């Protein structure tokens, strides 16, 4: 079992990945030499009166997503249905925060393809926040980056829990 993870936001506030989500993310680690990338979307909420965010849910790969050793391509439709359902069920408190995927490396770092995708998404996606959250799950560590409206990609620091 993994415990919740917390990361410090650049300006102020914390992003917390709840324990059940950490456990779900770690099931997709690319441990074996033939493991394929996995990914999905991140859903969560902002705590009222704070800049703190809670990641409550992620989507996991659907059968029509394309999974290869070094790439993951999410098909929009199934993941979007989950976003819309959670938005309604949570009475408009849980929303799309960003994307997650795996890398076949111990300590994940974003590729240029990742960074370019994040910069495109920050301009294109209908976002609940002023930034996009991106999680990469490595074989040993989970890391988070945010991309702001100026297209700056910033790695977040883990908080000691």
Catalytic residue flag (residue 37): yes
**Rounded CA gap, 97 and 46, in Å?**
10
Q: For residues 51 and 66, give the distance between their C-alpha atoms in angstroms, rounded to a whole number.
A: 35
Helix (H) or strand (E) holding 5: strand 5-8
State phi, psi for 4 to the nearest 5 degrees: -55, 150
Quick one: tokens of 85?
């359902």
Task: Out of 32, 37, 77, 91, pick the active-site residue.
Answer: 37
Q: Are residues 19 and 1 in contact, defined by beta-carbon separation less than 8 angstroms?
A: yes
Task: Report how far residue 103's alpha carbon sits from residue 147's, in angstroms, rounded to the nearest whole number.
Answer: 19
- Residues sharing a CB contact under 8 Å with residue 5, sequence separation 6 or more, in sequence order: 16, 17, 22, 142, 158, 161
The set of catalytic residues is 37
């Amino acid at each position: 079992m993994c415990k919740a993870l917390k990361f410090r936001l650049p300006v102020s506030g914390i992003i917390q990945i709840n324990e059940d989500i950490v456990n779900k993310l770690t099931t997709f680690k690319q441990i074996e030499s033939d493991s394929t990338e996995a990914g999905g979307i991140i859903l969560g909420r902002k705590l009222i009166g704070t800049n703190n965010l809670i990641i409550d849910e992620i989507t996991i790969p659907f059968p029509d997503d394309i999974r290869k050793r070094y790439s993951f391509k999410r098909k929009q439709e199934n993941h979007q249905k989950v976003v819309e359902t959670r938005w309604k069920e949570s009475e408009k408190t849980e929303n799309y925060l960003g994307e997650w995927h795996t890398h076949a490396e111990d300590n994940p770092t974003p590729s240029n393809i990742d960074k370019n995708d994040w910069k495109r998404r920050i301009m294109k996606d209908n976002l609940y926040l002023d930034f996009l959250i991106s999680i990469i799950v490595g074989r040993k560590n989970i890391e988070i980056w945010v991309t702001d409206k100026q297209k700056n990609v910033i790695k977040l620091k883990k908080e000691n829990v």
